[in-house]
Amino acid sequence: MNIALIGYGEVGRILAEDLRGAGHAVTAYDVRLDSETGGPMREHALFYGVALAETHADAVRRRDLVVSAVTASQTVAAARACAGALRAESFFLDFNSASPGAKITAAEHVAGGGGRYVEGAVMTSVPPYRIKVPLLLGGPHAVALEPVLNRLGFAAKVASEKLGVASATKMCRSVMIKGLEAMVIEGFTAARHYGVEDAVLASLGETFPGIDWEKQAAYFFQRVIEHGRRRSEEMREAAVTVCDAGLEPWSAAGAAECQAWMADLADRNLFGESGRDDFAPSSDWRIEADRILAHLDDPWTD
């Protein structure tokens, strides 16, 4: 197939590798291609034989399938930018972590350009699963796209032919998962400040014996350090989803602020350069907590 990827970050590059490995033609576009981060993207594309486009329109023109994998805040903008150049009846798979309302608006833009919009909800972290990450599909064209995606190597399943259902599932899950990330960073760093982390870990181990809290904390810290900006945008979309349900997004909004704060620290290289683009969690979350506490000039820190 002729496939276009809109967004060439971590997810886009993983999809490109797997699709190219299966022999499909892949064209990609990312708004950051001409920025400081564009160099590694161009090197990756050259290595894997991915054609890079100069604009959204150039990327999607004459493509059978378009996969949008941008940051949550760019969900609607990406759909709007692609809509006018879509081939009639081409599929537009929205891979982004956005609210049901944002997905519905994006679908309107794509439909206006003659494309077939399908919302996609990625239900866990992409790197371990790669293209086979569990994926829920939604919208009136989801049934038609499901077998196409699965032949390409995806692990897609239709959630509903109604737009918004798949995304609501994803967003409500994110309140829990990304909220837990924020709670671990807040709670464990504070425990490190007071020197009570071992007692806290022991207590958590008794209450939740099925969780290796040392390993889980290391994973959470590293993923937020690497991808806090993207996660904060996702949690703002989760907060919108909660608001649209008539509830106050206490947890979602707080988690968004925590993730954004960690992203700001990472942008200032508080956590160092190594590992920022690799799926390689630190083996000890205490190292990162100590860096945070030192940044705060914590008098309790040795």
Two tokens at 24? 């499909």
Residue 185 and residue 216: Cα distance in Å, rounded?
A: 11
pLDDT 10s per residue in the chain (302 long)? 899 999 999 999 999 999 999 999 999 999 999 998 899 999 999 999 999 999 999 999 999 999 999 999 999 999 999 999 998 889 999 999 999 999 999 999 999 999 999 999 999 999 999 999 999 999 999 999 999 999 999 999 999 999 999 999 999 999 999 999 999 999 999 999 999 999 999 999 999 999 999 999 999 999 999 999 999 999 999 999 999 999 999 999 999 999 999 999 998 888 875 444 444 456 799 999 999 999 887 554 44
Two tokens at 112? 């206006």
Query: In Å, what is the CA distance from 8 to each residue of 37, 45, 90, 95, 212?
Result: 11, 9, 20, 12, 33
| Contact (CB, 8 A) for 292 and 189 | yes
Which DSSP symbol is given to 7? -
Q: Is 268 helix (H, G, I), strand (E, B) or coil?
A: coil
Residue 282 and residue 139: Cα distance in Å, rounded?
A: 39
* Domains (range + CATH), the chain: 2-162 (3.40.50.720), 167-295 (1.10.1040.10)
Nearest CA among 282, 256, 259 for reference residue 271? 282
Over the Cα atoms of the chain, what is R_g? Answer: 20
| Contact (CB, 8 A) for 97 and 70 | no
Q: For residue 192, what are the contacts with CB-CB under 8 A and spacing of at least 6?
A: 286, 289, 290, 293
Residue 59 and residue 37: Cα distance in Å, rounded?
A: 19
35 by Cβ neighbours in 10 Å (0-12 / 13-18 / 19+) ranks as: exposed
Predicted TM-score (pTM) above 0.85: yes
44 by Cβ neighbours in 10 Å (0-12 / 13-18 / 19+) ranks as: middle
Nearest CA among 279, 96, 251, 95 for reference residue 181? 251
Query: Could you tell me which residues are beta bridge partners of residue 158?
Result: 137
| Contact (CB, 8 A) for 43 and 98 | no
